[in-house]
């Protein structure tokens, strides 16, 4: 299989663009190639599954050290008390499509000249085609005063990971009981979900209203950019909803530091 053929195949699968259709998914290919996928999150797994079903003689290896698979949009629901933590977690072994070889290691280097990948076990893997789906890295310590391991100290929470989502849910309930000023914010960098910070703001409001504690809390949403959402169609209505619910919006504010001792940002 040459590069052109591989890209055509991706297009047929709908992964190299958005023009795939269910009819196109039914296409099969007799092409032969060693496909190596780095990262077995939603992106890597769906790539593996689709190539596995389309190639007549698939030779697919997926490299990922993680034992667990998380449905990450569910983190917001955990933080809002709608999902229980168990609902979003599965063993990775249950998610790997059958026939796909899983190497439970971390990739430490890639040599595109020789088409080789080195893993943390010291082994080298040769590929004809390499798919990179390692996800996003979260650098909490780029914000002064916090780090991933100290999240939760001084009531500074983030629900962008599994544990953080559970801690946020506890904090939300306490916030509703005790009352106070709630500061919600997002990041100006690339982030895993642009909607999630707004969702947890509204879920907090909703929880307090249902528990008749809304008058005990104030909510301010500090937004990194000018508009609440990139898509104007949603931004307008979202702003209306925030106003209707008395959720203050401060646009164009970037979080640079948190003083967890005095609870100031
Ligand atoms: C709170 C939250 C809410 C969200 N809400 C929504 C939503 O409502 N709608 C929506 O569409 N999306 C939402 N998302 C985004 C969506 O969940 C992610 O975009 C998606 O899960 C990312 O999948 P991924 O496979 O690209 O990356 P990841 O899930 O990060 O997977 C990457 C994988 O690569 C592996 N990896 C990394 N480095 C290496 C290496 N060197 N060697 C081998 N393996 C490696 C990791 O172990 C990991 O398993 C949300 C995300 C979060 C966190």
Residues of the chain with CATH 3.50.50.60: 3-132, 140-250
β-pairing verdict for 180-185 and 217-222: parallel
pLDDT band with cut points at 50, 70 and 90 for residue 22: very low
Pocket of ligand 1 (CB under 6 A): 38-44, 63-66, 72-73, 75-76, 106-107, 133-135, 159-160, 192-193, 195-196
Q: If you measure from the C-alpha of residue 41 to the centroid of ligand 1, how many angstroms do you get, rounded to a whole number? A: 6
Note the pLDDT tens digit of each residue in 59-78: 999 999 999 999 999 999 99
The pLDDT value recorded for residue 18 is 41
Q: If you measure from the C-alpha of residue 194 to the centroid of ligand 1, how many angstroms do you get, rounded to a whole number? A: 13
The CA-based dihedral angle spanning residues 39, 42, 45, 48, taken in that order and rounded to the nearest 10 degrees: -100
Ligand 1 atom nearest to CA at 63: 43
- Which one, of 107, 117, 115, lies nearest residue 3 by Cα? 115
Name, in order, each residue with C-beta under 8 angstroms of 130's C-beta and a sequence gap of 6 or more.
35, 36, 37, 38, 110, 112, 115, 117
The pLDDT value recorded for residue 103 is 98
Greatest Cα pair distance, the chain, in angstroms, is 65
Ligand 1 atom nearest to CA at 92: 49
Backbone torsions φ then ψ of 165, nearest 5 degrees: -65, -40
Report the complex ipTM: 0.98
Can you state the angle between helices 42-54 and 3-13, rounded to 10 degrees? 100
Measured from the Cβ of residue 129, the count of other Cβ atoms closer than 10 Å reads: 20
Homologous superfamily assigned to 3-132: FAD/NAD(P)-binding domain (3.50.50.60)
Name, in order, each residue with C-beta under 8 angstroms of 62's C-beta and a sequence gap of 6 or more.
36, 37, 40, 44, 45, 48, 96, 100, 101, 102, 103
Q: If you measure from the C-alpha of residue 193 to the centroid of ligand 1, how many angstroms do you get, rounded to a whole number? A: 10
Q: If you measure from the C-alpha of residue 8 to the centroid of ligand 1, how many angstroms do you get, rounded to a whole number? A: 25
- Which one, of 10, 49, 3, lies nearest residue 29 by Cα? 10
Compute the distance between CA of residue 46 and CA of residue 69 in angstroms, rounded to an integer. 13
pLDDT band with cut points at 50, 70 and 90 for residue 25: low
Q: Which of 11-15, 105-109, 157-161 bottoms out in mean pLDDT, i.e. has the lowest?
A: 11-15
The pLDDT value recorded for residue 23 is 45
Q: Is the pLDDT of residue 169 over 60?
A: yes
Note the pLDDT tens digit of each residue in 85-121: 999 999 999 999 999 999 999 999 999 999 999 999 9
The pLDDT value recorded for residue 20 is 43
117, 63 Cβ separation under 8 angstroms: yes
CATH class of 140-250: alpha beta
């Amino acid at each position: 299989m040459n590069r052109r053929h591989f890209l055509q195949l991706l297009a047929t699968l709908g992964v190299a663009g958005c023009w795939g259709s269910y009819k196109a998914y039914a296409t099969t290919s007799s092409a032969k190639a060693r496909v190596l996928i780095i990262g077995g999150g939603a992106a890597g797994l769906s790539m593996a599954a689709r190539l596995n079903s389309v190639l007549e003689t698939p030779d697919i290896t997926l490299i990922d050290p993680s034992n667990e698979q998380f449905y990450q949009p569910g983190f917001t629901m955990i933080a809002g008390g709608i999902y229980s933590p168990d609902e979003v977690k599965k063993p990775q072994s249950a998610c790997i499509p059958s026939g796909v070889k899983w190497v439970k290691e971390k990739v430490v280097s890639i040599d595109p000249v020789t088409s080789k990948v080195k893993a943390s076990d010291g082994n080298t893997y040769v590929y004809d085609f390499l798919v990179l789906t390692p996800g996003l890295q979260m650098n909490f310590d780029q914000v002064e005063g916090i780090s991933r391991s100290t999240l939760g100290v001084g009531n500074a929470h983030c629900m962008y990971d599994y544990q953080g989502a559970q801690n946020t849910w506890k904090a939300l309930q306490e916030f509703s009981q005790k009352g106070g000023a709630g500061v919600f914010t997002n990041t100006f960098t690339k982030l895993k979900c642009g909607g999630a910070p707004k969702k947890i703001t509204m879920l907090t409001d909703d929880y307090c209203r249902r528990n008749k504690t809304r008058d005990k809390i104030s909510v301010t949403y500090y937004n990194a950019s000018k508009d609440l959402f990139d898509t104007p169609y949603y931004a307008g209505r979202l702003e209306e909803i925030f106003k209707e619910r008395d959720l203050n919006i401060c646009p164009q504010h970037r979080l640079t530091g948190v003083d967890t001792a005095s609870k100031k940002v």
